[in-house]
Structure 1
Amino acid sequence: MKYPFDVNKSILWLGDLADLIFVFFDPIGQALCKRTLNLVEELNHKHADRIRFYLSKADEAGHESDRQRVMMQIVQELCKRPGLNRTGFDMPTIYVPNMNSKGSRCANQIEEVCKDIEKTINQTIQTTLNSLEKDCDQIAELVEDKLEKDSVTASVNLRAKFRGALFGFIGMLLPLILLATYLVSTKSEVVKVLGEDILATMSLYLGPLARAWQKVPAQYSQYVIIGIVGVALIMLLIAKFASSTKPTLSRKQKKSLLEVRDYVQNTVKSKKQKLYQEYLKQSVADHDL
């Protein structure tokens, strides 16, 4: 029979995912064919702790001496493979009892198989639930870390805005001071427009700058003005770059993260035992409970 996929690779892939790997050797069929042994050897090489060997349909193998001969033949063939050669080779005999046939004297160890499966299920459940608890703690830590980083980013943004506002204020203030100083230095024109009282107030605060401005030679005044305007423009550019901020979480995003943290800590984590019981009810029959 041909399949639209590689059967060997599929079996090996399933072996990587399975918690237990059962290999059933049929004493009647071709249990020791090369293809089967190649797969078993590769699975045993990667998952020796998970693989189990069983002689299936043991009740159809004849008398006890026949069964022993079949088992010895299988074990010998397996031990010929370097990847399967091991000491204390264990191969329990199992079969599905038939109510219509006479009772078989062959030891049926299928109950041991069921116990092994149940034990593995319990261990897997416990491991999964423990992992769930750790994942809940990890999610809470990630949320706290993200909120803490967002708080730090918000503080950095606030300082950046303050620096930008400071440089912007200086950039806007320099031209205004330049204009006011120029007006104070030309008293006759200012008096006509603003009046003597306002001029007196401006002279009180800007008098030193006005006197310094008057000391500047006329041929250099234009260069001084250009220099002050240039400094003001530089300050405004610095303000623009200094006030750049990083993206932060919105209130809605913060609320969502806090809800996730509270849910996994107070709801999911607290349901560990309940989830364990529910999983058992789904996996095991009621009479076994």
Structure 2
Amino acid sequence: MTTTPRIEADAVQHVEAGPPPVSPPKPPKQSLIKSESVSAGIKAVVGLAALFALWELVVVIFDFPKYLLVGPISAFEELFTNPGYFAVNALTTLQEGLAGFALGTALGVLCGALLYYASFLRPFLYPALIAIDTIPKVALAPLFIVWFGFGFESKAFVAMAIAFFPLVINTFDGLNSVPNELQDLARINRASKLKKMMKIDFIYALPSIFTGAKISISLAVGGAVVGEFIAGSKGLGYVILLANAQVDLPSMFAAFIVLAAIALLLFFIIDLVSKKLLPWKNYTK
């Protein structure tokens, strides 16, 4: 009889306390990707705004003459005064850079795979690739112009030559870093060379390949500008050359800003694609 009131009191206390707290569910991976992308975008905008503010402050404090240095306000004024002029030339450079990047990616991944799978060619091919990469691409540009003319193709091949090497190295390193356990597993299961290459080697190498692509995309845009420096009648490289001849620094720095914007946009697109295609690489925790 003495235990009944105690049991009732414990029950009343349990009801008053309410149910035990439930931990909130973890957000899905897609929302994590979106939130991280938004956060990275905000930080990038803040960083660029701080850089422009510092640049303008330096120009105002030291009072540089306009033929030596102008601030971002003058550059943006020139950009908004002639938006069509910069848009048309930016589109030309973008097309040349993307074509060079596509060619460089295809050839770079192919050569990186050849270095890995054809080990007997590695002692001959690897030093040759390094020797070719040490040649300044400005020196190669006239050769491409002789081969492909003054049009779109020569600029695209200059962009390809610059974007090519990072993808070779990153593809080879990615394939070379496949763990021995996975190699043994494929051997035990008697997987064919093609199946092992597609389902183990390249899947494991994809993060390294995307890292090389993020490096190469900016180099490809710069390579297109190099080609336009040598023989261009349009494009942002031509805009920079023309502005330099006319000592028009606002136009020159406006072209620099557009080039930087193109490179940043392409970099973030490839970064976003890599996060979509490689969720295990970014959200393993």
TM-score (ref. length: structure 2): 0.24
The structure with the largest helix share of the pair is 2
Indicate the structure whose relative CO is greater, using CA pairs within 8 Å and at least 6 residues apart: 2
